[in-house]
């Protein structure tokens, strides 16, 4: 008898144990706990024709946003295609959508997933996977609206319903709908207190509204389960470090880097991104982090897959520049320039400009850095990541203007950023600049 998941989707297997492993692995993926792969592998060994399981394994690998994992994802998709079972309509659609991603075309895959989720709005795995792709591709409206499209097909008692609320909360936050995002994040956590993505969504609200004390309390007192055995542990510690920077407490942020953000042996590309972003912010404030950058640059050099992700490549370049690795900077720049025109990811044409700006900053050419970054600020969403992550571009432009002695540009950027903070109600440009240096 064909098996179904907890939401009624056919799984294309007659093995109850395979369906149970699928649901257990999905629950771990939903809460970002470790390690869904370990749960799924034995089921695939026992049931090698389990198409939905191979597709899920490919999705787990793709969700790491790490170019080194693409070959393994392609192998998983190949096993799904080679199954002796006939794929269900959903499995056939998902296989077709994931193939371009595994070949390096995340944007093309995202477009196919758009339609897949219109036809299969209760495919919770595909919803979460595509939510992550929307974030990396810089599609903030779809972070909100994709879940909005699906919710009409769900009921509060459905398995996994709370995770939709958590994803919707994050999408609302990224679209500046902070009050709704905060309410929905708390609703999601009422359904499942282990919903780390909902914790993350509420933390974003506090950060973007400048509610620093509440944010620190949220991550240190009210929600602690994310700190261990969780794929978002490094990232939420990064958010906590940004809140310390909001308090002008660089020492606490640096201590947090050393304790919880500096990459360990198992760190993935997204962990390296957080490490680069925090060290760069500290460097903008004049904190000496060159030694830490040297260790991080070595990790990026071993792990970077140049030309696949603008977001990752830029953060790798931050580490190389922070470490002063002139020869490696030249190699990385050449690799980025060698990416063919019309590369599949959006914003790629701007990647070289952004990396040139980072290099200019590192060499002390601050006026050139500011000049290169200014035209990118209105289109920075295409860089990918969250508002908090993309603010690094803005902060770099602002500090470059300050160091270049371009007071007109510095004052303009300081005023612009301060006016985004609802908690700020007035004061001089200098004072406003102090409260916005964060995030």
Query: Is residue 304 predicted with pLDDT exceeding 70?
Result: no
pLDDT at 348: 65
Structure confidence by residue, pLDDT tens digits, 58-69: 999 999 988 889
Structure confidence by residue, pLDDT tens digits, 252-301: 999 999 999 999 988 889 999 999 999 999 999 999 999 999 999 999 98
Read off the pLDDT of each residue in 171-177 and give the average, rounded to a whole number.
97
Structure confidence by residue, pLDDT tens digits, 69-90: 999 999 999 999 999 999 999 9
Structure confidence by residue, pLDDT tens digits, 333-385: 888 777 765 555 566 678 788 999 999 999 999 999 999 999 999 999 888 99
Mean residue pLDDT of the chain comes to 91
What does the H/E/C string look like for the chain?
CCCECCCCCECCCCCHHHHHHHHHHHHHHHHCECCHHHHHHHHHHHCCCCHHHHHHHHHHHHCCCCHHHHHHHHHHHHHHHCCCCCCCHHHHHHHHHHHHHHCCCHHHHHHHHHHHHHHCCCCHHHHHHHHHHHHHHCCHHHHHHHHHHHHCCCCCCCCCHHHHHHHHHHHHHHCCCHHHHHHHHHHHHHHCCCCHHHHHHHHHHHHHCCCHHHHHHHHHHHCCHHHCCECCHHHHHHHHHHHHHHCCCHHHHHHHHHHHHCCCCCCCHHHHHHHHHHHHHHHHCCCCCHHHHHHHHHHHHHHCCCCCCHHHHHHHHHHHHHHCCHHHHHHHHHHHHCCCCCCCCCCHHHHHHHHHHHHHHHCCCHHHHHHHHHHHHHHHHHHCCCHHHHHHHHHHHHHHHHHHCCHHHHHHHHHHHHCCCCCCCCCCHHHHHHHHCCC
Q: Provide the whole-model pTM.
A: 0.92
For a pLDDT cut of 70, what percent of the chain falls above it? 93
Domains of the chain: 1-138 (1.25.40), 262-439 (no CATH)
Give residue 223's pLDDT band: very low, low, confident or very high (50, 70, 90).
Answer: confident
pLDDT at 156: 96
Give residue 34's pLDDT band: very low, low, confident or very high (50, 70, 90).
Answer: confident
């Amino acid at each position: 008898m064909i098996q179904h998941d907890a939401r009624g989707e056919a799984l294309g297997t007659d093995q109850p144990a395979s369906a149970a492993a699928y649901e257990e692995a999905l629950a771990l993926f939903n809460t970002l706990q470790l390690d869904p792969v370990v749960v799924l592998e034995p089921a695939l060994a026992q049931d090698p024709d389990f198409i939905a399981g191979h597709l899920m394994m490919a999705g787990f690998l793709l969700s790491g946003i790490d170019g080194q994992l693409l070959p393994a994802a392609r192998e998983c998709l190949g096993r799904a295609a080679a199954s002796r079972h006939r794929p269900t309509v959903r499995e056939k659609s998902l296989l077709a959508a994931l193939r371009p991603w595994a070949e390096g075309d995340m944007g093309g895959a995202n477009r196919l997933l758009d339609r897949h989720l219109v036809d299969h709005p209760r495919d919770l795995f595909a919803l979460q996977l595509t939510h992550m792709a929307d974030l990396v591709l810089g599609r903030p409206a779809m972070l909100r609206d994709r879940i909005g499209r699906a919710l009409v097909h769900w009921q509060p008692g459905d398995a996994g319903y709370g995770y939709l609320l958590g994803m919707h909360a994050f999408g609302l936050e990224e679209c500046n709908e902070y009050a709704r995002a905060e309410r929905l994040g708390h609703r999601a956590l009422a359904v499942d207190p282990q919903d780390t993505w909902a914790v993350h969504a509420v933390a974003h609200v506090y950060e973007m509204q400048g509610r620093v004390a509440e944010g620190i309390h949220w991550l240190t007192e009210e929600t602690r389960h994310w700190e261990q055995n969780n794929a978002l542990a490094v990232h939420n510690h990064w958010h906590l470090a940004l809140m310390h920077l909001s308090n002008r407490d660089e020492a606490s942020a640096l201590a947090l880097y050393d304790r919880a953000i500096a990459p360990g042996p198992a760190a993935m590309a997204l962990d390296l991104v957080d490490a680069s972003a925090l060290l760069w912010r500290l460097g903008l404030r004049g904190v000496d982090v060159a030694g830490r950058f040297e260790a991080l640059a070595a990790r990026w050099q071993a792990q970077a897959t140049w030309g696949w992700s603008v977001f990752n490549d830029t953060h790798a370049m931050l580490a190389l520049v922070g470490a002063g690795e002139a020869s490696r900077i030249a190699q990385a720049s050449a690799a980025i320039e060698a990416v063919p025109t019309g590369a599949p990811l959006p914003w790629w044409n701007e990647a070289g400009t952004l990396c040139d700006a980072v290099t200019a900053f590192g060499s002390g050419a601050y006026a050139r850095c500011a000049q290169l970054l200014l035209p990118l600020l209105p289109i920075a969403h295409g860089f990918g990541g969250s508002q908090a992550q993309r603010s690094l571009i803005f902060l770099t432009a602002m500090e470059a203007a300050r160091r270049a002695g371009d007071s007109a540009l510095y004052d303009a950027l300081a005023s612009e950023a301060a006016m985004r903070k609802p908690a700020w109600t007035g004061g001089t440009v200098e004072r406003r600049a102090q409260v916005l240096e964060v995030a």
